[in-house]
Amino acid sequence: MNNMLKYLFIVFLWLAAAPVVTLAQTAENATTVQATTETGNSDVEMADTLRRDGKIYVVVAVIATVLAGLIIYLIRLDRKVARLEQQYRS
């Protein structure tokens, strides 16, 4: 049970840090967009196309689903290992 709390704490820290990383990337992207606007060409055309077509949300949803699946798998695995450790001790 203690390990599960540790994993949940790590997940909450990760979620808390996500807006900070996003803000840093947004600031970096703003300077990149300004630089590419001045030169007239974009280095990441695929991302622009995904944003324009609205498919970026599908990509984000798939990534979130995969991460949620991994977190659930780790929690279940931790519970199984803890149960096996208890059986081994008895």
User: pLDDT for 1-27, tens place per residue?
Assistant: 577 777 777 777 777 776 655 555 565
Please count the structural domains in the chain: 1
Q: Is the C-alpha dihedral spanning 59, 61, 66, 67 positive or negative? A: positive
pLDDT-based confidence at residue 29 (cuts at 50, 70, 90):
low
Contact 82, 3 (CB under 8 A): yes
Q: Which domain holds residue 54?
A: 2-89
Q: pLDDT tens-digit profile of 35-81?
A: 455 555 556 787 788 888 888 888 889 999 999 999 999 999 999 99
